A and B are shown apart, each in its own frame.
Chain A
Amino acid sequence: MRRILVVSWLPVGLVAIWWFASASSTSLFFPPLRDIVAETRRLWFFDHLRTDLLPSLSTLAIGYAVAVVAGVGIGLVLGLLPRILDAIGPELEFVRSMPAVAILPVAVIMLGLGDLMRVSVIAFGAVWPVLLNTLAAVSGTDPVQRDTERAFGLPVLVRLRVRLGAAVPQILAGARTSLAIAVVLIVVSEMQGADRGIGNFVLAAQRAFAITEMWTGMVVLGALGYLLNVAFRAVEHALLRHHPPARGGRAVLEAR
Protein backbone atom coordinates (compact mmCIF):
# COMPACT_ATOMS: atom_id res chain seq x y z
CA MET A 1 0.00 0.00 0.00
CA ARG A 2 2.76 2.40 1.04
CA ARG A 3 4.70 1.38 -2.05
CA ILE A 4 1.76 2.20 -4.32
CA LEU A 5 1.64 5.67 -2.76
CA VAL A 6 5.39 6.17 -3.12
CA VAL A 7 5.35 5.15 -6.78
CA SER A 8 2.17 6.90 -7.82
CA TRP A 9 2.17 10.32 -6.17
CA LEU A 10 4.04 12.02 -9.00
CA PRO A 11 2.06 10.68 -12.00
CA VAL A 12 -1.23 11.18 -10.18
CA GLY A 13 -0.17 14.72 -9.25
CA LEU A 14 0.87 15.57 -12.80
CA VAL A 15 -2.38 14.27 -14.28
CA ALA A 16 -4.32 16.26 -11.65
CA ILE A 17 -2.45 19.44 -12.54
CA TRP A 18 -3.10 18.84 -16.26
CA TRP A 19 -6.75 18.09 -15.54
CA PHE A 20 -7.44 21.29 -13.58
CA ALA A 21 -5.14 23.58 -15.54
CA SER A 22 -6.76 22.58 -18.81
CA ALA A 23 -10.31 22.37 -17.47
CA SER A 24 -11.36 25.78 -18.74
CA SER A 25 -9.07 25.78 -21.77
CA THR A 26 -10.64 27.14 -24.93
CA SER A 27 -7.47 26.77 -26.98
CA LEU A 28 -7.96 24.74 -30.13
CA PHE A 29 -4.55 23.11 -29.69
CA PHE A 30 -4.74 22.29 -25.99
CA PRO A 31 -8.20 20.91 -25.30
CA PRO A 32 -9.27 20.12 -21.74
CA LEU A 33 -8.01 16.76 -20.49
CA ARG A 34 -11.62 15.89 -19.68
CA ASP A 35 -12.47 16.10 -23.41
CA ILE A 36 -9.41 14.08 -24.35
CA VAL A 37 -10.38 11.33 -21.92
CA ALA A 38 -13.97 11.32 -23.14
CA GLU A 39 -12.81 11.19 -26.77
CA THR A 40 -10.36 8.42 -25.97
CA ARG A 41 -13.14 6.32 -24.52
CA ARG A 42 -15.46 7.01 -27.42
CA LEU A 43 -12.89 6.42 -30.17
CA TRP A 44 -10.67 3.69 -28.78
CA PHE A 45 -13.10 1.49 -26.89
CA PHE A 46 -13.37 -0.35 -29.10
CA ASP A 47 -13.71 0.89 -32.69
CA HIS A 48 -10.24 2.22 -33.37
CA LEU A 49 -8.71 -0.34 -31.06
CA ARG A 50 -9.86 -2.90 -33.57
CA THR A 51 -9.24 -0.95 -36.78
CA ASP A 52 -6.01 0.85 -35.85
CA LEU A 53 -4.33 -0.40 -32.71
CA LEU A 54 -4.55 -4.13 -33.35
CA PRO A 55 -3.13 -3.92 -36.89
CA SER A 56 -0.29 -1.75 -35.56
CA LEU A 57 0.37 -4.21 -32.77
CA SER A 58 0.45 -7.24 -35.03
CA THR A 59 2.83 -5.52 -37.48
CA LEU A 60 4.95 -4.46 -34.52
CA ALA A 61 4.98 -7.97 -33.08
CA ILE A 62 6.02 -9.57 -36.37
CA GLY A 63 8.73 -7.00 -37.09
CA TYR A 64 10.07 -7.17 -33.55
CA ALA A 65 10.08 -10.97 -33.53
CA VAL A 66 12.01 -11.02 -36.81
CA ALA A 67 14.48 -8.50 -35.35
CA VAL A 68 15.07 -10.50 -32.16
CA VAL A 69 15.38 -13.89 -33.86
CA ALA A 70 17.63 -12.57 -36.63
CA GLY A 71 19.67 -10.51 -34.17
CA VAL A 72 20.33 -13.44 -31.86
CA GLY A 73 21.01 -15.82 -34.75
CA ILE A 74 23.34 -13.55 -36.69
CA GLY A 75 25.03 -12.32 -33.52
CA LEU A 76 25.65 -15.89 -32.41
CA VAL A 77 27.13 -16.95 -35.75
CA LEU A 78 29.33 -13.85 -36.02
CA GLY A 79 30.43 -14.20 -32.40
CA LEU A 80 31.43 -17.82 -32.88
CA LEU A 81 33.09 -17.33 -36.27
CA PRO A 82 35.42 -14.35 -35.94
CA ARG A 83 36.68 -14.84 -39.49
CA ILE A 84 33.28 -14.07 -40.95
CA LEU A 85 33.03 -11.10 -38.61
CA ASP A 86 36.37 -9.76 -39.85
CA ALA A 87 35.14 -10.06 -43.43
CA ILE A 88 31.80 -8.34 -43.05
CA GLY A 89 32.58 -6.05 -40.10
CA PRO A 90 32.98 -2.84 -42.16
CA GLU A 91 29.82 -3.51 -44.19
CA LEU A 92 27.97 -4.14 -40.96
CA GLU A 93 29.15 -0.82 -39.56
CA PHE A 94 28.06 0.94 -42.73
CA VAL A 95 24.56 -0.47 -42.74
CA ARG A 96 24.16 -0.11 -39.01
CA SER A 97 24.92 3.59 -39.03
CA MET A 98 22.01 4.31 -41.36
CA PRO A 99 19.05 5.62 -39.35
CA ALA A 100 16.12 3.29 -39.94
CA VAL A 101 13.85 6.29 -40.51
CA ALA A 102 16.06 7.33 -43.41
CA ILE A 103 15.67 4.04 -45.23
CA LEU A 104 11.89 4.40 -45.10
CA PRO A 105 11.70 6.07 -48.55
CA VAL A 106 13.94 3.37 -49.97
CA ALA A 107 11.80 0.68 -48.40
CA VAL A 108 8.65 2.26 -49.86
CA ILE A 109 10.18 2.20 -53.34
CA MET A 110 11.37 -1.37 -52.97
CA LEU A 111 8.51 -2.91 -51.05
CA GLY A 112 5.53 -0.64 -51.61
CA LEU A 113 3.25 0.74 -48.92
CA GLY A 114 2.02 -2.50 -47.42
CA ASP A 115 2.69 -4.34 -44.20
CA LEU A 116 5.71 -6.09 -45.68
CA MET A 117 7.43 -2.71 -45.93
CA ARG A 118 6.56 -1.85 -42.34
CA VAL A 119 7.66 -5.21 -40.97
CA SER A 120 10.92 -4.91 -42.90
CA VAL A 121 11.63 -1.39 -41.66
CA ILE A 122 10.94 -2.40 -38.06
CA ALA A 123 13.07 -5.52 -38.37
CA PHE A 124 15.92 -3.58 -39.98
CA GLY A 125 15.87 -0.80 -37.40
CA ALA A 126 15.37 -2.94 -34.32
CA VAL A 127 17.78 -5.74 -35.16
CA TRP A 128 20.96 -3.87 -34.24
CA PRO A 129 20.87 -3.63 -30.45
CA VAL A 130 20.02 -7.34 -30.16
CA LEU A 131 22.59 -8.33 -32.78
CA LEU A 132 25.41 -6.26 -31.33
CA ASN A 133 24.72 -7.28 -27.75
CA THR A 134 24.57 -10.95 -28.70
CA LEU A 135 27.77 -10.58 -30.68
CA ALA A 136 29.53 -8.81 -27.82
CA ALA A 137 28.39 -11.39 -25.27
CA VAL A 138 29.35 -14.39 -27.39
CA SER A 139 32.67 -13.13 -28.70
CA GLY A 140 33.61 -11.81 -25.25
CA THR A 141 33.22 -15.22 -23.62
CA ASP A 142 35.34 -15.54 -20.49
CA PRO A 143 38.63 -17.42 -21.19
CA VAL A 144 37.95 -19.63 -18.16
CA GLN A 145 34.64 -20.61 -19.75
CA ARG A 146 36.38 -21.43 -23.02
CA ASP A 147 38.88 -23.60 -21.15
CA THR A 148 36.02 -25.28 -19.29
CA GLU A 149 34.23 -26.09 -22.54
CA ARG A 150 37.39 -27.53 -24.02
CA ALA A 151 38.65 -29.36 -20.95
CA PHE A 152 35.34 -31.16 -20.55
CA GLY A 153 35.00 -31.74 -24.28
CA LEU A 154 31.53 -30.23 -24.51
CA PRO A 155 29.93 -31.09 -27.87
CA VAL A 156 29.20 -28.21 -30.23
CA LEU A 157 25.48 -28.08 -29.48
CA VAL A 158 26.05 -28.01 -25.73
CA ARG A 159 28.65 -25.28 -26.21
CA LEU A 160 26.16 -23.27 -28.23
CA ARG A 161 23.59 -23.65 -25.49
CA VAL A 162 25.88 -22.53 -22.69
CA ARG A 163 27.18 -19.60 -24.73
CA LEU A 164 23.60 -18.58 -25.40
CA GLY A 165 22.67 -19.08 -21.75
CA ALA A 166 25.53 -16.88 -20.63
CA ALA A 167 24.49 -14.23 -23.16
CA VAL A 168 20.84 -14.01 -22.07
CA PRO A 169 21.21 -10.97 -19.77
CA GLN A 170 23.01 -8.99 -22.47
CA ILE A 171 20.60 -10.13 -25.18
CA LEU A 172 17.69 -8.91 -23.05
CA ALA A 173 19.34 -5.54 -22.53
CA GLY A 174 19.58 -5.26 -26.31
CA ALA A 175 16.03 -6.49 -26.81
CA ARG A 176 14.72 -3.76 -24.53
CA THR A 177 16.36 -1.06 -26.63
CA SER A 178 15.14 -2.80 -29.79
CA LEU A 179 11.57 -2.71 -28.50
CA ALA A 180 11.71 1.05 -28.03
CA ILE A 181 13.07 1.45 -31.57
CA ALA A 182 10.37 -0.86 -32.95
CA VAL A 183 7.63 1.29 -31.40
CA VAL A 184 9.08 4.43 -32.96
CA LEU A 185 9.31 2.71 -36.34
CA ILE A 186 5.76 1.35 -36.37
CA VAL A 187 4.40 4.85 -35.77
CA VAL A 188 6.67 6.50 -38.31
CA SER A 189 6.13 3.83 -40.96
CA GLU A 190 2.37 4.17 -40.60
CA MET A 191 2.71 7.84 -41.39
CA GLN A 192 3.86 6.81 -44.88
CA GLY A 193 0.85 6.11 -47.02
CA ALA A 194 -0.91 3.76 -44.63
CA ASP A 195 -4.69 3.63 -44.53
CA ARG A 196 -4.86 2.39 -40.95
CA GLY A 197 -2.73 2.01 -37.85
CA ILE A 198 -2.08 4.34 -34.96
CA GLY A 199 0.57 6.36 -36.80
CA ASN A 200 -1.85 6.99 -39.62
CA PHE A 201 -4.60 7.84 -37.12
CA VAL A 202 -2.50 10.53 -35.42
CA LEU A 203 -1.31 12.05 -38.67
CA ALA A 204 -4.80 12.02 -40.21
CA ALA A 205 -6.29 13.63 -37.09
CA GLN A 206 -3.67 16.36 -37.12
CA ARG A 207 -4.19 17.08 -40.81
CA ALA A 208 -7.96 17.22 -40.31
CA PHE A 209 -7.52 19.64 -37.41
CA ALA A 210 -9.20 17.06 -35.17
CA ILE A 211 -6.85 18.10 -32.40
CA THR A 212 -8.65 16.32 -29.57
CA GLU A 213 -8.56 13.14 -31.60
CA MET A 214 -4.86 13.63 -32.20
CA TRP A 215 -4.33 13.92 -28.45
CA THR A 216 -6.16 10.66 -27.86
CA GLY A 217 -3.51 9.07 -30.06
CA MET A 218 -0.87 10.37 -27.65
CA VAL A 219 -2.73 8.91 -24.68
CA VAL A 220 -3.03 5.53 -26.39
CA LEU A 221 0.63 5.52 -27.46
CA GLY A 222 1.73 6.41 -23.93
CA ALA A 223 -0.37 3.61 -22.48
CA LEU A 224 0.93 1.22 -25.13
CA GLY A 225 4.55 2.04 -24.33
CA TYR A 226 3.90 1.57 -20.64
CA LEU A 227 2.18 -1.78 -21.11
CA LEU A 228 4.85 -3.06 -23.47
CA ASN A 229 7.46 -2.21 -20.88
CA VAL A 230 5.54 -4.05 -18.17
CA ALA A 231 5.21 -7.06 -20.44
CA PHE A 232 8.88 -6.94 -21.32
CA ARG A 233 9.83 -6.83 -17.67
CA ALA A 234 7.70 -9.91 -16.98
CA VAL A 235 9.42 -11.80 -19.80
CA GLU A 236 12.82 -10.64 -18.58
CA HIS A 237 12.03 -11.72 -15.05
CA ALA A 238 10.99 -15.16 -16.23
CA LEU A 239 14.08 -15.63 -18.39
CA LEU A 240 16.50 -14.38 -15.75
CA ARG A 241 15.01 -16.18 -12.78
CA HIS A 242 17.98 -18.56 -12.61
CA HIS A 243 20.64 -15.95 -13.23
CA PRO A 244 22.44 -14.24 -10.38
CA PRO A 245 20.66 -11.00 -9.50
CA ALA A 246 22.38 -8.04 -11.12
CA ARG A 247 23.41 -5.17 -8.95
CA GLY A 248 21.93 -1.74 -9.52
CA GLY A 249 19.42 -1.21 -12.30
CA ARG A 250 17.45 -4.38 -12.37
CA ALA A 251 17.03 -4.65 -8.63
CA VAL A 252 15.59 -1.14 -8.52
CA LEU A 253 13.13 -1.92 -11.31
CA GLU A 254 12.14 -5.20 -9.72
CA ALA A 255 11.40 -3.52 -6.42
CA ARG A 256 8.12 -2.30 -7.88
Chain B
Amino acid sequence: MTTAVVDVDDVGHDYVSRQGVHHVLGSVTIRAFPGEVVCVVGPSGIGKTTLLRIIAGLQRPSRGTVSVAGRVLTGPSDAVGLVFQDYSRSLYPWLSVLDNVGLPLRARLSRAERLERSRAAIQEVGLEAAEGKRPWELSGGMQQRVAIARALAYQPAVLLMDEPFASVDAQTRSDLEDLTLRVRDDLHQTVVLITHDVDEAVYLADRIVVLHGSPARVIEEIPVALGRRDQLETRATPEFARIRSQVHRLIRQGSKEITCVS
Protein backbone atom coordinates (compact mmCIF):
# COMPACT_ATOMS: atom_id res chain seq x y z
CA MET B 1 0.00 0.00 0.00
CA THR B 2 1.31 3.44 -0.91
CA THR B 3 1.72 5.96 1.85
CA ALA B 4 -0.59 8.93 2.08
CA VAL B 5 0.66 12.31 0.81
CA VAL B 6 -1.67 14.05 3.20
CA ASP B 7 -2.37 12.38 6.49
CA VAL B 8 -4.76 14.20 8.78
CA ASP B 9 -4.64 12.02 11.84
CA ASP B 10 -7.34 12.32 14.48
CA VAL B 11 -7.31 16.12 14.38
CA GLY B 12 -9.44 18.10 16.77
CA HIS B 13 -9.68 21.81 17.20
CA ASP B 14 -11.23 24.14 19.75
CA TYR B 15 -11.64 27.88 19.79
CA VAL B 16 -11.57 29.61 23.09
CA SER B 17 -13.65 32.77 23.15
CA ARG B 18 -15.36 34.87 25.79
CA GLN B 19 -18.44 32.68 25.41
CA GLY B 20 -16.38 29.67 26.39
CA VAL B 21 -14.75 26.83 24.52
CA HIS B 22 -16.15 26.09 21.07
CA HIS B 23 -15.39 22.61 19.70
CA VAL B 24 -15.05 23.07 15.94
CA LEU B 25 -13.43 19.83 14.86
CA GLY B 26 -14.08 16.64 16.81
CA SER B 27 -11.89 13.91 15.50
CA VAL B 28 -11.11 14.23 11.83
CA THR B 29 -9.03 11.68 9.95
CA ILE B 30 -8.49 12.20 6.23
CA ARG B 31 -5.89 10.64 3.95
CA ALA B 32 -5.03 11.56 0.39
CA PHE B 33 -2.87 9.28 -1.75
CA PRO B 34 -0.56 10.28 -4.61
CA GLY B 35 -2.40 11.55 -7.67
CA GLU B 36 -5.74 11.47 -5.91
CA VAL B 37 -8.34 14.23 -5.83
CA VAL B 38 -10.02 14.30 -2.44
CA CYS B 39 -12.95 16.64 -1.92
CA VAL B 40 -14.01 17.57 1.57
CA VAL B 41 -17.66 18.62 1.68
CA GLY B 42 -19.92 19.77 4.42
CA PRO B 43 -22.48 22.46 5.16
CA SER B 44 -21.19 26.00 5.64
CA GLY B 45 -20.02 26.88 9.11
CA ILE B 46 -18.93 23.29 9.72
CA GLY B 47 -15.26 24.19 10.19
CA LYS B 48 -14.01 23.51 6.66
CA THR B 49 -11.92 26.64 6.65
CA THR B 50 -10.39 25.75 10.02
CA LEU B 51 -9.52 22.31 8.66
CA LEU B 52 -7.97 23.87 5.57
CA ARG B 53 -5.87 26.29 7.63
CA ILE B 54 -4.68 23.37 9.72
CA ILE B 55 -3.69 21.32 6.65
CA ALA B 56 -1.96 24.41 5.24
CA GLY B 57 0.02 24.73 8.45
CA LEU B 58 -1.40 28.19 9.09
CA GLN B 59 -2.96 27.01 12.33
CA ARG B 60 -1.89 24.39 14.87
CA PRO B 61 -4.61 21.88 15.71
CA SER B 62 -5.58 21.51 19.38
CA ARG B 63 -5.25 17.74 19.07
CA GLY B 64 -3.84 15.28 16.57
CA THR B 65 -1.28 15.76 13.82
CA VAL B 66 -1.14 16.52 10.13
CA SER B 67 1.62 15.03 7.98
CA VAL B 68 2.30 16.10 4.43
CA ALA B 69 4.71 14.09 2.29
CA GLY B 70 5.76 12.10 5.33
CA ARG B 71 6.59 15.01 7.61
CA VAL B 72 4.55 16.24 10.53
CA LEU B 73 3.55 19.86 10.05
CA THR B 74 4.72 22.43 12.55
CA GLY B 75 3.95 25.40 10.33
CA PRO B 76 3.39 26.24 6.66
CA SER B 77 5.25 23.70 4.55
CA ASP B 78 6.95 23.72 1.16
CA ALA B 79 4.96 20.60 0.41
CA VAL B 80 1.62 22.43 0.32
CA GLY B 81 0.57 24.70 -2.54
CA LEU B 82 -2.38 26.76 -1.41
CA VAL B 83 -5.07 28.26 -3.65
CA PHE B 84 -7.29 30.71 -1.83
CA GLN B 85 -10.92 31.34 -2.58
CA ASP B 86 -10.34 35.06 -2.74
CA TYR B 87 -7.89 35.38 -5.63
CA SER B 88 -8.26 39.14 -5.82
CA ARG B 89 -6.89 39.50 -2.29
CA SER B 90 -4.23 36.83 -2.45
CA LEU B 91 -2.53 38.03 -5.64
CA TYR B 92 -0.36 41.16 -5.65
CA PRO B 93 -2.12 43.62 -7.96
CA TRP B 94 0.95 45.65 -8.94
CA LEU B 95 3.06 42.63 -9.88
CA SER B 96 2.81 41.05 -13.33
CA VAL B 97 1.41 37.55 -13.69
CA LEU B 98 4.96 36.25 -14.11
CA ASP B 99 6.19 38.01 -10.96
CA ASN B 100 3.19 36.88 -8.93
CA VAL B 101 3.82 33.28 -9.90
CA GLY B 102 7.56 33.57 -9.26
CA LEU B 103 7.34 35.43 -5.95
CA PRO B 104 7.35 32.36 -3.66
CA LEU B 105 10.42 31.08 -5.51
CA ARG B 106 12.49 34.13 -4.69
CA ALA B 107 15.45 33.41 -2.45
CA ARG B 108 14.99 29.73 -3.18
CA LEU B 109 16.01 29.52 -6.83
CA SER B 110 18.25 31.40 -9.20
CA ARG B 111 16.57 33.89 -11.48
CA ALA B 112 16.83 31.62 -14.51
CA GLU B 113 15.34 28.62 -12.71
CA ARG B 114 12.63 30.81 -11.25
CA LEU B 115 11.61 32.12 -14.66
CA GLU B 116 11.68 28.66 -16.17
CA ARG B 117 9.46 27.18 -13.47
CA SER B 118 7.09 30.15 -13.44
CA ARG B 119 6.72 30.00 -17.22
CA ALA B 120 6.06 26.27 -17.12
CA ALA B 121 3.34 26.77 -14.50
CA ILE B 122 1.81 29.64 -16.47
CA GLN B 123 1.78 27.44 -19.55
CA GLU B 124 0.10 24.66 -17.58
CA VAL B 125 -2.84 26.96 -16.84
CA GLY B 126 -2.84 28.41 -20.35
CA LEU B 127 -1.93 32.01 -19.57
CA GLU B 128 1.23 32.43 -21.68
CA ALA B 129 -0.28 35.38 -23.50
CA ALA B 130 -1.00 37.23 -20.25
CA GLU B 131 2.29 36.77 -18.38
CA GLY B 132 3.13 40.48 -18.56
CA LYS B 133 -0.29 41.68 -17.44
CA ARG B 134 -1.34 42.70 -13.94
CA PRO B 135 -4.01 40.64 -12.16
CA TRP B 136 -6.49 43.54 -12.19
CA GLU B 137 -6.34 43.56 -15.97
CA LEU B 138 -7.60 39.95 -16.05
CA SER B 139 -11.01 38.35 -15.56
CA GLY B 140 -11.81 36.54 -12.31
CA GLY B 141 -11.30 33.13 -13.89
CA MET B 142 -7.93 34.13 -15.27
CA GLN B 143 -6.88 35.53 -11.89
CA GLN B 144 -7.73 32.20 -10.27
CA ARG B 145 -5.60 30.51 -12.94
CA VAL B 146 -2.73 32.75 -11.87
CA ALA B 147 -3.27 31.65 -8.28
CA ILE B 148 -3.25 28.01 -9.38
CA ALA B 149 -0.07 28.58 -11.40
CA ARG B 150 1.56 30.20 -8.38
CA ALA B 151 0.77 27.16 -6.27
CA LEU B 152 2.02 24.81 -9.00
CA ALA B 153 5.29 26.67 -9.58
CA TYR B 154 6.07 25.81 -5.99
CA GLN B 155 5.98 22.14 -7.07
CA PRO B 156 4.11 21.09 -3.95
CA ALA B 157 3.34 17.53 -2.95
CA VAL B 158 -0.27 18.55 -2.57
CA LEU B 159 -2.39 21.27 -4.10
CA LEU B 160 -4.73 22.50 -1.39
CA MET B 161 -7.73 24.45 -2.61
CA ASP B 162 -10.26 26.39 -0.54
CA GLU B 163 -13.57 26.83 -2.38
CA PRO B 164 -11.45 27.86 -5.35
CA PHE B 165 -14.26 28.32 -7.84
CA ALA B 166 -16.88 29.86 -5.57
CA SER B 167 -16.57 33.38 -6.92
CA VAL B 168 -16.52 32.82 -10.68
CA ASP B 169 -19.36 32.37 -13.16
CA ALA B 170 -20.68 28.93 -14.14
CA GLN B 171 -18.86 28.63 -17.47
CA THR B 172 -15.53 29.68 -15.96
CA ARG B 173 -16.13 27.31 -13.09
CA SER B 174 -16.47 24.35 -15.49
CA ASP B 175 -13.27 25.41 -17.27
CA LEU B 176 -11.38 25.66 -14.00
CA GLU B 177 -12.69 22.28 -12.85
CA ASP B 178 -11.39 20.66 -16.02
CA LEU B 179 -8.14 22.58 -15.64
CA THR B 180 -7.72 21.14 -12.14
CA LEU B 181 -8.24 17.60 -13.42
CA ARG B 182 -5.81 18.17 -16.29
CA VAL B 183 -3.17 19.44 -13.88
CA ARG B 184 -3.66 16.35 -11.78
CA ASP B 185 -3.17 14.13 -14.86
CA ASP B 186 -0.22 16.11 -16.29
CA LEU B 187 1.74 16.46 -13.07
CA HIS B 188 0.35 13.48 -11.18
CA GLN B 189 -0.58 16.07 -8.59
CA THR B 190 -2.42 15.20 -5.39
CA VAL B 191 -5.29 17.60 -4.82
CA VAL B 192 -7.27 18.28 -1.65
CA LEU B 193 -10.20 20.55 -2.35
CA ILE B 194 -12.60 21.94 0.20
CA THR B 195 -16.03 22.93 -1.02
CA HIS B 196 -19.66 23.21 -0.07
CA ASP B 197 -20.75 22.47 -3.63
CA VAL B 198 -21.81 18.82 -3.87
CA ASP B 199 -21.96 18.71 -7.69
CA GLU B 200 -18.46 20.08 -7.94
CA ALA B 201 -17.19 17.56 -5.42
CA VAL B 202 -18.74 14.60 -7.27
CA TYR B 203 -17.40 15.85 -10.60
CA LEU B 204 -13.83 16.37 -9.37
CA ALA B 205 -13.26 13.79 -6.69
CA ASP B 206 -11.80 10.34 -6.64
CA ARG B 207 -13.02 10.26 -3.10
CA ILE B 208 -15.46 12.46 -1.22
CA VAL B 209 -15.11 13.03 2.50
CA VAL B 210 -18.32 14.23 4.14
CA LEU B 211 -17.95 16.30 7.28
CA HIS B 212 -20.79 16.81 9.67
CA GLY B 213 -21.79 17.62 13.18
CA SER B 214 -20.66 20.01 15.84
CA PRO B 215 -17.88 19.35 16.57
CA ALA B 216 -17.35 18.22 13.00
CA ARG B 217 -16.28 14.69 12.18
CA VAL B 218 -16.07 12.56 9.05
CA ILE B 219 -19.41 10.79 8.72
CA GLU B 220 -18.71 9.04 5.41
CA GLU B 221 -16.10 8.51 2.73
CA ILE B 222 -17.45 7.84 -0.74
CA PRO B 223 -15.24 6.58 -3.55
CA VAL B 224 -16.19 8.06 -6.91
CA ALA B 225 -15.51 5.92 -9.97
CA LEU B 226 -16.79 7.94 -12.88
CA GLY B 227 -13.86 7.41 -15.24
CA ARG B 228 -12.77 10.18 -17.51
CA ARG B 229 -14.78 13.33 -16.80
CA ASP B 230 -16.73 15.34 -19.32
CA GLN B 231 -18.78 18.34 -18.27
CA LEU B 232 -21.86 17.26 -20.21
CA GLU B 233 -21.77 13.48 -20.19
CA THR B 234 -20.43 12.80 -16.70
CA ARG B 235 -23.11 14.89 -15.05
CA ALA B 236 -25.78 13.00 -17.00
CA THR B 237 -24.73 9.51 -15.90
CA PRO B 238 -26.88 7.57 -13.41
CA GLU B 239 -23.78 7.00 -11.28
CA PHE B 240 -23.24 10.77 -10.95
CA ALA B 241 -26.86 11.24 -9.88
CA ARG B 242 -26.62 8.35 -7.43
CA ILE B 243 -23.50 9.66 -5.67
CA ARG B 244 -24.83 13.18 -5.74
CA SER B 245 -28.05 12.23 -3.95
CA GLN B 246 -26.12 10.00 -1.56
CA VAL B 247 -23.94 12.93 -0.51
CA HIS B 248 -26.94 15.22 -0.20
CA ARG B 249 -28.73 12.62 1.90
CA LEU B 250 -25.71 12.22 4.15
CA ILE B 251 -25.52 15.93 4.75
CA ARG B 252 -29.23 16.11 5.54
CA GLN B 253 -29.15 12.96 7.67
CA GLY B 254 -26.22 14.42 9.50
CA SER B 255 -28.23 17.47 10.37
CA LYS B 256 -31.12 15.32 11.70
CA GLU B 257 -28.67 13.48 13.87
CA ILE B 258 -27.49 16.80 15.27
CA THR B 259 -31.05 17.85 16.03
CA CYS B 260 -31.60 14.59 17.92
CA VAL B 261 -28.41 14.99 19.93
CA SER B 262 -29.10 18.58 20.93
Residues in B whose Cβ lies below 8 Å from that of A155: 106-107
Asked if residues B76 and A150 are in contact (CB atoms below 8 Å), the reply is yes
Residues in A whose Cβ lies below 8 Å from that of B96: 242
A157 to B106: give the CA distance in the assembly, Å.
Answer: 10
Residues in A whose Cβ lies below 8 Å from that of B80: 151
**Quick one: which of B69-90 are within 8 Å of A by CB?**
75-76, 78, 80, 82, 84, 86, 89-90
Q: How many A-B residue pairs have CB under 8 A?
A: 61
When C-beta atoms are compared, the residue in chain A nearest to B154 turns out to be: A152
Q: Nearest Cβ distance between residue B11 and chain A, in whole angstroms? A: 18
When C-beta atoms are compared, the residue in chain A nearest to B106 turns out to be: A158
A11 proximal to B (CB < 8 A): no
Asked if residues A162 and B76 are in contact (CB atoms below 8 Å), the reply is no
- The contact string, 1 if C-beta is below 8 Å from chain A, for chain B 134-149, is 1010000000000000
Asked if residues A153 and B104 are in contact (CB atoms below 8 Å), the reply is yes
- The contact string, 1 if C-beta is below 8 Å from chain A, for chain B 93-107, is 111100000011011
**Given A165-B94, A168-B94: A244 touches B107 (CB 8 Å cut-off):** no
B187 proximal to A (CB < 8 A): no
Asked if residues A144 and B84 are in contact (CB atoms below 8 Å), the reply is yes
When C-beta atoms are compared, the residue in chain A nearest to B153 turns out to be: A152
A153 to B57: give the CA distance in the assembly, Å.
Answer: 11
Asked if residues A244 and B134 are in contact (CB atoms below 8 Å), the reply is yes
- The contact string, 1 if C-beta is below 8 Å from chain B, for chain A 157-173, is 11000100110100000
When C-beta atoms are compared, the residue in chain B nearest to A152 turns out to be: B104
A243 to B136: give the CA distance in the assembly, Å.
Answer: 8
A148 to B93: give the CA distance in the assembly, Å.
Answer: 14
Give the total of B residues in contact with A, Cβ under 8 Å.
Answer: 26
Residues in A whose Cβ lies below 8 Å from that of B134: 242, 244
Residues in A whose Cβ lies below 8 Å from that of B89: 142, 144-145
A86 proximal to B (CB < 8 A): no
A147 to B86: give the CA distance in the assembly, Å.
Answer: 12
A147 to B50: give the CA distance in the assembly, Å.
Answer: 13
A154 proximal to B (CB < 8 A): yes
Asked if residues A243 and B94 are in contact (CB atoms below 8 Å), the reply is yes
**Quick one: which of B168-187 are within 8 Å of A by CB?**
none
A152 to B106: give the CA distance in the assembly, Å.
Answer: 10
Residues in A whose Cβ lies below 8 Å from that of B37: none
Q: Nearest Cβ distance between residue A140 and chain B, in whole angstroms? A: 13
A147 to B59: give the CA distance in the assembly, Å.
Answer: 10
- The contact string, 1 if C-beta is below 8 Å from chain A, for chain B 247-259, is 0000000000000
Residues in A whose Cβ lies below 8 Å from that of B166: none
A151 to B96: give the CA distance in the assembly, Å.
Answer: 20
Asked if residues A151 and B103 are in contact (CB atoms below 8 Å), the reply is no
Cβ contact of A165, chosen from B76, B92, B150, cutoff 8 A: B92
Interface residues of A (CB under 8 A from B): 142, 144-145, 147-148, 150-155, 157-158, 162, 165-166, 168, 242-244
Beyond A144-B90, A242-B134: 13 further Cβ-contacts under 8 Å? A142-B89, A144-B89, A147-B53, A147-B58, A151-B57, A152-B104, A158-B103, A162-B92, A162-B103, A165-B92, A165-B94, A166-B94, A168-B94
Across the A-B interface, the 5 shortest Cβ-Cβ residue pairs: A152-B104, A244-B136, A144-B89, A242-B94, A151-B82
